[in-house]
Chain A
Amino acid sequence: MLLATTKFFLLPMQPQEEYYNLYFNDNMSKLCKIHLVPRRKSMNNSLVKFFLTSILLTSTAFSQGSVSGTVTDGLTNNSLPGANVFIEGTSYGAAADADGNYTISNVSDGSYTVTAGYIGYKSSSSEVTVSGGDASASFVLDVDPLRSEEVVVTGAASRTTKATAEISVQRINASELTDKNNYSTVDNILAGRVAGVSITKASGIAGSQFKMQMRSGGGLNGDGQPVFFVDGVKVQNSSWRAGGGDAPDIGITALASLNPEDIESIEVIKGPAGASSYGTGGSNGVVLITTKRGKSNTGDNWKMSYKGTFGYNDQDREYDEGEFRSYKWVNDYFQPGEITKHSVSVSGGSEMTNLYFSIDNPYEEMHTPNNWMDQQNIRANLDFRPNNKFNFMASTAFNSAEMQLPGRYRADGVFGVVTYAANPWVMMDPTKEAYFDYQTEKNYINSFVGSITGEVTPFADNAGALNGLSARFTYGMNDRDNRNIYTAQVTNEDITGESDEGEKMISQRNSQVMTFNWDLKYDYQLGGISASSIVGSQSFDERTREFGASRAGFVTDQITTISAGAVEGETYDFMDHFRSAGLFTEHNFSLNQTFFGSFMLRRDYASVLGSTSSDITYPRFSGAVRLDRLGVVPQPISFLKLRAAYGETGILPGRIDGIPQLWSAVNSQYGVGAVLTDIGNPEIKPERIKEFEVGFEAEVANFGFDFTYYNQTANESIVDRDNVGSSGMTQSPGKFNVGEIQGSGWESQIFAYFGGQTFGGWKLDLTLTNSYQENEVISMGGADPIYGGPGGGKQAFAEGFPKHAFYNDVNVGALFSDGTNVMENDLHPMYDEVMPAGAYYGDDVSDGKIYLGTGMPDKIGSFGFNLNLFGFDLSGLFNWKTGHVLYNEARVDMIWWAVDMQDGDGSDPNDVCGTNVIRYDELAEMLGFGNHCAGQTELTNYSSQEYIDAANEYSRTNPFFDANSIQPGDFIRLREISLSYNVSKLTKSLPLLGNLENLTLGVSGTNLWAKYHEDFTGVDPEINSMGYHGGPQNMMQAGSLPTPKSVNMFIKFNI
């Protein structure tokens, strides 16, 4: 007898993708098959099988032996360190060492199926017999270009392997990436890696907010932000920066508090077809972050890992006189910023309990002064499995951060000013002591994310129909405290050239999200169909509390408490409480593991004050077929799956949008009085977004293909429509369900691998990601376009144009004395025609609005590679975005504010009119429009072609015209590159170092090279200082810091 008493086995049923079958026996002759839920597996298939096996088995060996062997890559013949090998149906397993060798000890006599698995490779099994001694089984694993065995999330309560998923889900194995590079925040991991997803940072400041644009943008509304879940807990990616001191729009992301080193994987569901089971929360997509958990093989094996990173951030490139007249000052403003990061984690456990514990201390100075963040992260993830019926998982993470941000003059403080003016204020003079120190803004942040998840299979021991019943719940909390302190220091005129009595504003924000999810699942058979039915719920309770106070008039810089300010400023407090809940039922069917189908219904509820509860129902239908299993697919196609899905989600109106009028108490010199502040619509409903997607995944030889086409339609879109100004009721726009928008696009990923056994074994993995999207506002419900953006009217939601369209007046040239104006702008539909007199004249505008492009790129893509050669690991990622434009406000500022500056570029206080090369000024001089210091000769022959050309160009260069500063945003960037080498083989025999496993040294860099469109004159087209806003106020660039380049060295090892 191999096993005594009741034992549990986990064996694969059919091909290994869909379901695991849990067997238990009280003797070997009686096996009862149970479907084990195929969901919520955060690791790859092999690991999951191993875990579950180890959970459920208690063994008592009689005659014992071992199983040993090697795990190698079939392509390179190299070993695969860390590959997992386990005995099917037992908890026995081991991880391969640096040489690919493994040994599973204490194996009782018997015949077994031994399986080896490794991320990115197809699992392989072998039959072995242990009989009083040792047995061997070696494995040669084939590359899995599609990673089809990986388990992915397909709904709020369902998971399956990628090989059978009916929707498009992209999974990023973050732990692979953090092994090779340094990521400050989670968005840096995502950037450029997810097909159809554009990520834009608001700024290059520490912890800058970012925006994710999913597919064609979904509905007309929303802020473009997906919902983030960390281990099942909703996390607010709030963007907050307290008011006061001309607070910039650039916020900091709450996700900066999540330690990238703790992330195991990230899954992204991009559209309603996939995300409808998340209800309204899924309207802008869902990002599911799973953190690392403790791993044990045969129990009591603990592993400590250390990774140390040392590097710097710096200006990505030097600017020249064509970009900023103050380019020398701008370049001087940048400085290298130190990066250090120490990450220690401990992982391991016993059969019953697993623990992952990590501490992390990243300190990162950015590329400009007074801009850094210092964080402390602690995480403890505990798994507890007392028996085969219960499984509890607790996740806790605490982050304490201190963040110093640049000042607040304009966009990114000093940078924002220095870039647009040579020397407008002495306070900006870098020769002055207070240049960098005048303003400070600090954030002190404490953030906690914790959850407990329980899984119960109460009838796991039963042989009857109830054994397919399981339940799961997650209760979690995200609590974040952010104390923001803005200080404008007392300055002395003797030092700074300008005196200031200072200002201080202290703001405190607490945000809290409670998550409670539960679901019941029942797996059953309907004839030959394997089915499962789920009922479940998600509920979220969200509170935000904010308080702030400011004072000015500090007479001394020695006492900095706010009470030392003589002039009382604004004091405010704010509280918001919002609840939402969704109930869903989902039913899945599988026939012969070849045909798959499911349908889902979800009903959502949300808090709306002053009106009835806002509720809406969303359906989803999906199906897939594995053609390769039908025998109709010719060789060399080894895998081909077709899939289609339809789903709906929505965007809720705001909590107070249903209240007709709201009044606030506002203080004034006459006392506190009632003032109308918000105007709502009692009839408002959620916007509904529908999506159909169809796609396929295929594997052909050493290539993998993943393609998805989607079509989105949103109707009853909520349109902000201001009352007419003449009503006096324009304190807020009204909300109406009158809009409609359509979008479509495709996403593709091509994977390829090449390799051989020469050069000691080499392997090259390539990934090419591409996507295209288009969208069009179909209806604004008869409303006129909604214009937004700085200065008003740069971008629009207008019928017949894409969302965020630049729809602007175009200056086509000067008006001449003969009353004609030859159209010279080839973008204009009346190109080359003679315009009537006065239609366009210098700064004047007429009804000449034309479409100049959209802020959303229509094509985004990336190319990633990973080359293993001579033991070195070289990987990199290029990404690009094309087909979009942006408003380069820096150019406007540069011309507008510095047009008459006497000092050239700041390099010499006596430098007058010598280095100004701004074309606008040259033209102004040539046309006799005042002394603009360009040193050009005035043209006096007004009929000469030279004069006419200059006049036309002057008009088209005029910063008053928004269109003159709308520029292509196309770019390609080398986002990441890293080179590492595992020196363990070299240090194996050395004292101390020989005890370190996987000792790896490496160097990595981000943003080391970029190429922008030749017509773009800004610092970084990927920076969008208003990028986190919804509405047409999107895609603009002010004096925002560009992304830094970063170079790091790292060392890592295990003990």
Chain B
Amino acid sequence: MKNIRMMILVGIPIIMAFSFMSCEDWVTEVDPLSSQVEDGSLDSEEYLDFLLKGVLGNMGRSEEFSGLSHIIWRVAGFSDEFVHGEVDFAPDHSNFVQDIPMDLNFVANDWENYHQIRFHADDLLDRASNMTISNASLEQRVHWWGNVIGGLMRMYLADHWGLTQDGESPGAIITTVQQIANGESGSFQTDAAIRVLARTMLTEALNYDPGDTYEGVNGNPDKIVWSLIARTYLFDGNWSEAKSAAEKGLQDGDAGFQLVHTASYPNYMWYDAGRNNVLFSADPRFVDYVVADREEGEIISNLEEENEDSQSLRGPEGEGLGDADEENVRDGLDNQNERIPLWELEGDANLAYCQDIYDARDDYLDLIDWREMELILAEVAIRNSDDATGLTHINNVRTHHGLDELTVDDLTGFTPSETSGAGTITGSLGLLIEERDKTLWTKGVRITDQKRFDLWHLGSNTWPYIPIPDSEILNNPNVTRP
């Protein structure tokens, strides 16, 4: 009996030992992932286009906190281009900007959005540079888009972000793929330093041709790159380089650099600041601009009844042209190059005005165009006291929009209105600022103009750029907030 007992008790660990081995094998014999692939599996030429589409897709996404379209919308709302909501419905714009706790989600999410777009571009270039690519057009395409999107995102990081509330620390932090692999984090760099990084990538892009595989370039790859470079020099205050680059940039008649949108991937500026949803509605000064010069654009109203406060000429008074469900009324306007098209609607309390530059969900979003080059050249000239040349460039833009040409007297004698985007700046620079304000509305540059011309619209206790969030500061040992 003892033997039997001993055999059983010895047998138990033997059974265990065999079972150990079978268990280990059994749990690993599971179905592979069907919806994801490991990073190393993508390191070959056949996946480069798949990766490039991912880079473009990240840039083109149009959900909340995703994609470039959202970035342009956000920074436009953060600046004085828009007010929050239907004027007095929901918190006012002042609250929206002031109340930014450093751990508020939207700030951190926006920060991550900028860098996720950048990361995908950098990762694409990193992979491409470590392999021999037999398909020449693919190689060109990959390098052009990788460098342009990488450069573009660095430019936006420099333009939109900052470290301290006093406005003295514009700039951002970039942690590279190599740093994260080594467990390291990037350090804070000034906006100027980051623009140098942006220009390096953009300049590299000039060595490549993206072809026409993807829309948005419109056959002007080099001009687009020079245009972006020109903007970075302008914001750096390097007038001569800005002029040089702008002259190589987009010219009158050139199609701009555009973000592609479709019905499924809509233009966020339309989505949340257009007829669809006026989470951001136009700052009232844009209405003032139009009322002061009705050639700037039509204000189309969709009011069902006449309203004595209506500023539109094409609303109920215009025989119901403002019905959004009808065919697009703007198609029938005489001036197809309106500069400040607006859409008037009735909010819960007041009339609200939204941008109508993008009046359809699939409108491509303009990232940069020739008009900005004209205004860069104008600014450089005015900075160099060449008002006449400056006026020429300004009028090139104005005539495109069907507006009257200005005279030198208009330029030198410019006095801003009470609500002008030029603030209290008079003379030629003031006029230029106002022209930039009107022309480059919804392009994501106003916040930098406010910084450059000391036009911040809120109090000294507010952030004049988007604050680098606590989620970065608290977890990055290389950065502290002074």
Contact = CB atoms under 8 A, between A and B. Distances in A.
22 contacts: A465-B2, A466-B4, A567-B264, A583-B19, A583-B23, A613-B24, A656-B33, A661-B38, A661-B39, A670-B56, A670-B214, A673-B54, A674-B54, A675-B57, A675-B58, A724-B471, A725-B112, A726-B175, A727-B186, A728-B120, A791-B105, A793-B103
Nearest to B362: A669
B27 A673 contact: no
B453 interface: no
Contacts of A666: 54, 57
B101 A724 contact: no
A730 B13 contact: no
A720 to B, nearest CB: 12
B52 interface: yes
A777 interface: no
Interface stretch (A310-318, A603-611, A1022-1030): A603-611
Interface residues of A, number: 82
Interface stretch (B223-231, B328-336, B402-410, B472-480): B472-480
Given A669-B262, A673-B57, A674-B51, A577 B39 contact: no
A566 to B, nearest CB: 10
Contact of A535 (B16, B29, B123): B16
A671 interface: yes
Given A728-B119, A793-B101, A672 B60 contact: no
B111 interface: yes
Contacts of A784: 474-475
B398 interface: no
Interface of A: 464-466, 469, 520, 522, 524, 533, 535, 537, 539, 543, 567-568, 573-575, 577-583, 585, 603, 605-607, 609-610, 613, 615, 656, 659-678, 721-731, 783-784, 787, 791-793, 809, 838, 841, 843-845, 896, 900, 902, 930, 960
Contact of A726 (B27, B55, B98, B172): B172
B54 A581 contact: no
A464, A665, A677: residue with the most chain B Cβ atoms closer than 10 Å: A665
A535 B12 contact: yes
Contacts of B61: 668
B44 interface: no
Contact of B103 (A568, A792, A841): A792
A676 B99 contact: no
B30 A674 contact: no
A359 B170 CA distance: 71
A577 B30 contact: yes
A724 B475 contact: yes
A665 B34 CA distance: 10
Contacts of B56: 668, 670-671, 673
Given A674-B42, A792-B104, A605 B23 contact: yes
A366 B26 CA distance: 45
B115 interface: yes
B36 A607 contact: no
B57 A670 contact: yes
B260 A727 contact: no
Given A666-B54, A669-B262, A723-B180, A579 B13 contact: no
B134 interface: no
Contacts of B2: 465
A544 to B, nearest CB: 11
Interface of B: 1-2, 4-5, 8-9, 12-13, 15-16, 19-20, 23-24, 26-39, 42, 47, 50-58, 60-61, 88-91, 95, 98-99, 101-105, 108, 111-112, 115-120, 122-123, 172-177, 179-180, 185-186, 214, 260-265, 348-349, 461, 469, 471-472, 474-476
Contacts of A533: 8-9, 12
Contacts of A585: 12-13, 16
Contacts of B52: 673
Contacts of A573: 34-35
B27 A727 contact: no
A581, A585, A725, A784, most chain B CB atoms within 10 A: A725
A668 B54 CA distance: 8
5 closest Cβ pairs, A-B complex = A728-B119, A673-B53, A668-B57, A673-B54, A661-B39
B118 A728 contact: yes
B175 A667 contact: no
B35 A727 contact: no
Contacts of B105: 791-792
A1045 to B, nearest CB: 36
A579 B264 contact: no
Contact of B31 (A568, A575, A727): A575
Contacts of A659: 38
A668 B60 contact: yes
Nearest to B262: A669
Contact of A668 (B95, B180, B263, B265): B265
A580 B27 contact: yes
Contacts of B476: 724, 726
A819 to B, nearest CB: 13
A312 B243 CA distance: 78
B53 A725 contact: no
Nearest to A567: B263
Contacts of B26: 539, 579, 581, 605
Given A568-B264, A585-B16, A664-B36, A727 B175 contact: yes
A844 B104 CA distance: 12
Contacts of B472: 724-726
A791 B104 contact: yes
Contacts of A524: 5, 8
Contact of A673 (B33, B55, B101, B111): B55
A81 B92 CA distance: 72
A728 B118 CA distance: 7
A603 B36 contact: no
B120 A676 contact: yes
A524 B5 CA distance: 8
B28 A613 contact: yes
A955 to B, nearest CB: 12
Contacts of B99: 843-844, 960
A634 to B, nearest CB: 41
B460 to A, nearest CB: 11
A1025 to B, nearest CB: 18
B13 to A, nearest CB: 7
A662 B33 contact: yes
A42 to B, nearest CB: 27
B2 to A, nearest CB: 8
B1 A725 contact: no
B27 to A, nearest CB: 4
Contact of A900 (B38, B88, B112, B118): B88
B173 A726 contact: yes
B479 to A, nearest CB: 9
A469 B16 CA distance: 17
Contacts of B177: 727
Contact of B27 (A543, A581, A676): A581
A843 B461 CA distance: 12
Given A579-B29, A660-B39, A843-B95, A724 B24 contact: no
A465 B4 CA distance: 6
A902 B347 CA distance: 13
Contact of B471 (A539, A664, A725): A725
A656 B32 CA distance: 11
Contacts of B5: 465, 522, 524
A469 B23 contact: no
A656 B30 contact: no
Contact of A662 (B15, B36, B179): B36
B440 to A, nearest CB: 24
Contact of A728 (B23, B89, B116): B116
A610 B30 CA distance: 12
B54 A727 contact: no
B33 A609 contact: yes
Contacts of B35: 573-575, 664-665
A730 B58 CA distance: 14
Given A583-B23, A728-B119, A809-B101, A672 B263 contact: no
